[in-house]
Structure 1
Amino acid sequence: MSTRRDAILRASATAIAERGIRGLRVTDVADAAGVSAGLLYYHFRDRIGLLEAALNHINDRAREYRSEGEALTDSARDRLLRSLLGEIQDRPDVVENSLAWNELRASAVYEEALRGPLARTTAAWVSEIADAVSQAQLAGEVAGTIDPHRAAVTMTALVEGLSGRWLCREISTDDARSLVLGAVETVMPSELRRHP
């Protein structure tokens, strides 16, 4: 990715997190990225194109921090838990990502043009979690009777909902993470727990 394009995407994610979609002005993003508005439109066809690219950038950045700290010795279930818990951390980049994601999700209710891009990025996240569930099943760490896709949809929706409450400070980081862990035990019990 070009340095300028990457700077635009970072500036877009920050602007969405700080001011929301309604407060997003293309000129502000261009100024923050240190580029002209014309260059911004060169890289992105219009405001929706910029928002779609920002959403993909947010998703890519989340994929990176969700896998941080992975070790070859980690179990498949540990990798699954890390992927889910990675979305709720007291780190500026995670908070910014969560703010932007929640804003884009809420805005898609009213801006139909955002629904397709949001559905695609959500489907990518669900697919990653479903793959992690399948890997945990193959390792005997999650019951084989669980439908990986349904479990992934449930868990990603739960993480999104808890993330919104966490960002509003209705629940603490520790409480949100604890609730995710409890849900994993309920939705995806290990094979060993089901058959002592």
Structure 2
Amino acid sequence: MSTKVRTADTRERILTAACEAIAEIGFEKIRMRMVAERAGVSTALLHYHFDTREKLFTEAMTHSFANTATDVERDAGTAPAAVILARIVRNLLPTDPELHQDWRLWQELWVRALRDEATRTYAVDLYAQLHTWVADAVRRGIASGEFEPTDVDGLCTLVLSLSDGYGIRLMLRDPAVTLDSALASIWRHVSTALGLTDGIPEE
């Protein structure tokens, strides 16, 4: 195994461990030693890759987002745009254990962003990436004729806002909101804007 591959593997293990630890106990309680132990590396090696907790946190958030985006876009060149868009909507909510962990990371990010300007800027940038992610799927469908033309930016802002609102209530286990009702509500707005008549597509 080359040095480059070993380095990439080590970073992957560290970032995966960081995501798990932050989601489990919260960023404020996290210590670099905890992440190193969970990743199976020395503290010195962890500091070699990530010299501060803050850098580790932002890299973990980026890692989490990138993994989700890669999974969603795996067949974007061949799958109908509505299927890709529905997949994105599902991935914007805590629909499985992995996304539940991602949502815990997002909640940690929001709390830090209220107190730290650098984190606030980073959070805004991540939202811009999410916006682009949704917008690209919508524009792809409009270009192919699957979707009716619409205010793409307005729709993306609405989808992200609804996902945040419903996602928080799902994380709180609010009995008034279920995953099915949240998905149906978001997709109803999407369908109206894009001229779709069927329900949310299945995989």
- What TM-score does the superposition give when structure 2 sets the normalisation length? 0.82
Q: Are residue 120 (structure 1) and residue 89 (structure 2) matched? A: no
Q: Is the 8 A contact 1:9 1:53 kept in 2?
A: yes
d(CA) in 1 for partners of 2:196, 2:92: 26
Q: CA deviation at 1:5?
A: 0.8
Distance 1:153 1:17 in 2: 26
3-state SS in 2 of match to 1:169? coil
Aligned to 2:92: 87
Cα distance in 2 for residues equivalent to 1:191 and 1:62 = 25
Runs of 5+ consecutive residues of structure 2 not aligned to the other structure = 1-6, 199-203
AA in 1 matched with 2:12: D
**Aligned position for 1:111:** 116
Taking only aligned residues, the RMSD between alpha carbons, in angstroms, comes to 2.3
Please report how far the alpha carbon of residue 155 of structure 1 lies from its aligned counterpart in structure 2 after TM superposition: 1.0
Indicate the SS of the match to 2:194: coil
Structure 1 gap ranges (5+): none
Q: Is the 8 A contact 1:137 1:143 kept in 2?
A: yes
1:130-145 mapped onto 2 (5 Å cutoff): 130-144=135-149
Q: What are the within-5 Å matches in structure 2 for residues 139-178 of structure 1?
A: 139-144=144-149, 146-170=150-174, 171-178=177-184
Distance in 1 between the 2:186 and 2:136 partners? 18
- Aligned-partner Cα distance in 2 for 1:90–1:75: 21
Residue 3 (structure 1) aligns with: 9
Normalising to structure 1: TM-score of the pair?
Answer: 0.85
**1:39 is paired with a residue of what secondary structure?**
helix
Contact 2:73 2:84 in 1 (8 A): yes
- Match among 54, 61, 75 for residue 60 of structure 2: 54
Structure 1 152/99 Cα, relative in aligned 2: closer, same or farther at 3 Å? same
Distance 1:109 1:56, change over 3 A: same
